[in-house]
Amino acid sequence: MLLTAGPTHEPIDPVRFIGNHSTGKMGYALAERFAEHGAKVVLVSGPTNLHTDHTSIEVKHVTTAEEMHKAVLKRAGAADIWVFAAAVADYRPKTVADKKIKKAGDELTIELVKNVDIAAALGKQKEEWQFSVGFALETDNEGANAREKLRKKKLDMIVLNSLNDPGAGFAHDTNKITIMEEGATHTFELKKKSEVAEDIVNLIWERIYG
C-alpha cells in the first residue's frame, strides 16, 4: 500500500517556507496499523519529527508538494491501496529567492501558484482493482465539502475531521473522524490517533476483503 503523511514545506528563500501545522501523527499511526495487519507499506512523508522502525514500512522522505507528487507517481502503479493522509500545501511561491530576503519597507508581496492536487491527479489513472482513500480537514460545510472531494477525486472513501471539534485536527494526539463512502457514513467518537487509525484500517480491510 502507498500512504502519504505530514505537511509539505514550500520554500520562499533559503530560510523561510509556506507550510501548515500537520505533525504527521495520523499518517504514521496509519502506517503502523497497516503494517500490523500484514501490509507492505510505502510511506511518503513530508517534514516531521516522527519515525518508524517497523520492518514492513519503507519511508521516502520529501519536502515539497512537487517532490511528494513525483514520489507517489513513481510508486502508485504497484500499490493496491492508496491513502492520502498528508496535508499538502495548496500553493507554492512562484519564484524562490536564492538568498535570504531582507526586510525592506512595510509590505512584502509573494506571488503564489497552485500545486498539483495529488489525490485528484492519481484518481485519473486509478485502476478498478485499486482502493483509494482521501482525507478532508474542514472548518465549514464539512459534510458537503468532503462528499464533493469524494466524487471529484474518484475516492472510494474519505476521512473527514473538523477543526471545530475540540481535540481533533493538527497537533493533537487525538482525533474525531467521520468516514464517508458513496452510500454510507460512519461517525466515530474522539479517540487516540492510534485507535482512530485502527478504525480506518478495519473499515478498509472490511471493504476489500469482506
Does 178 fall in a domain?
Answer: no
Q: How many structural domains comprise the chain?
A: 1
d(C-alpha 118, C-alpha 8), whole Å: 12
Does 210 fall in a domain?
Answer: no
User: pLDDT at position 166, please?
Assistant: 72
For residue 17, give Cα distances in angstroms to 64, 86, 93, 97, 179.
10, 17, 9, 11, 32
Does 113 fall in a domain?
Answer: yes
User: pLDDT at position 140, please?
Assistant: 85
Does 33 fall in a domain?
Answer: yes
Orientation angle between helical segments 25-36 and 193-209, nearest 10 degrees: 50
Does 6 fall in a domain?
Answer: yes
In terms of DSSP H, where are the helices of the chain? 25-36, 65-76, 118-123, 142-152, 193-209
Q: Provide the residue range defining the domain that includes 151.
A: 2-158
- Find where cell 504527521 sits: 24
66's grid cell: 512537487
CATH of the domain at 106: 3.40.50.10300
Does 149 fall in a domain?
Answer: yes
Please list the rounded mean pLDDT of every run of 10 residues in the chain (210 residues).
98 96 95 96 97 97 98 97 97 97 91 97 95 92 93 96 73 87 94 95 93
Does 180 fall in a domain?
Answer: no
Kindly report the pTM of this predicted structure. 0.94
In terms of DSSP H, where are the helices of 77-192? 118-123, 142-152
Enzyme catalytic residues: 20
